[in-house]
Each structure stands twice: as structure tokens, then as C-alpha cells.
Structure 1
Amino acid sequence: MTLDWFKSTYSSNGGQCIEVSNSLPGTVPVRDSKDPEGPALAFPVTAWQAFVTAVRSGEFGDV
């Protein structure tokens, strides 16, 4: 299966970026944009949503 990957629109070229895919139902694969052939981590959708919510609310400080 080929996954469709994308980066945030906030991502700048050459930055420390991740890419995510929404090609797998119930799972959010995440990889380093600088190493697209490298490993990917896979998170349940609910865990990814909780992480994104925490980042947006500032739970991890200024990121």
C-alpha cells in the first residue's frame, strides 16, 4: 500500500518537520520529512488527536 504523506502548511523548507498520512483508517503514521525512506511511527487516531490538542493548547510550552 502506498501512503499519501503531507506536512503542515506551517512547515518551512529545511526545518525540523514531520509528515503524516491519513491513508490508514484508525491509524496516523508519522515520519521525519528529511528521511522519507526511514521508519515511520504509527499512532491510534485518538492518541494523535490528543497530542495535537495538547500542542495547540500550549500544554508542552512554547514549541
Structure 2
Amino acid sequence: MNWRRSSFCNSVSCLEVAQDETDVLVRDSKDPAATPQRYTRQEWLAFVLAVKAGEFDDLAGGPVV
């Protein structure tokens, strides 16, 4: 499985994502042996669109530039 992390991550504490035949998987890079969370592609798309729309900017301490 090809796990990817954001190019904005500059530490060992990052979220990583991968995909299998049906789902998008998310894991914590500090614990790669743990069971990843699974999301349908529709769930993942809804999340990505919300991030791009700025719906979670307040969780990052303000607008992400």
C-alpha cells in the first residue's frame, strides 16, 4: 500500500493517507502498525471539499496560507 503524507508536514507526527480498492485509509504516522480509519470515497471527497472551502480553518488557529 502506498501511504502518503502532506508536503506541509515537517515532523514525524503526521496523518498519512492511502487507498485500497474501495476506501481511503487514514493513519497516524507515529503508529503505522495501528488499524487505519476507513472512509468511503464519497466521505473523503466531502471532507476534502470542506477543507478546501475553509470550514476547518479555525482548528488550525486561523486561515491556512
TM-score by length of structure 1 reads 0.79
Query: Is 1:14 paired with 2:16?
Result: no
Q: Which string of whole-angstrom CA distances, capped at 9 and with x for unpartnered residues, describes residues 10-35 of structure 1?
A: 111234x111112x123001100110
Gaps of 5+ in 2: 61-65
Matches within 5 A, 1:35-54: 35-54=31-50
- Measured after TM superposition, the shift of residue 61 of structure 1 is 2.8
TM-score by length of structure 2 reads 0.77
Q: Which string of whole-angstrom CA distances, capped at 9 and with x for unpartnered residues, describes residues 26-54 of structure 1?
A: 30011001100112001001101110110
Query: Is 1:55 paired with 2:54?
Result: no
Identity of aligned residues (%): 39
Please, what is the CA RMSD of the aligned residues? 1.3
Partners in 2 of 1:19 and 1:54 — Cα distance?
A: 18
Are the counterparts in 1 of residues 17 and 24 from structure 2 also a CA contact under 8 Å?
Answer: yes
Partners in 2 of 1:19 and 1:53 — Cα distance?
A: 18
Gaps of 5+ in 1: none
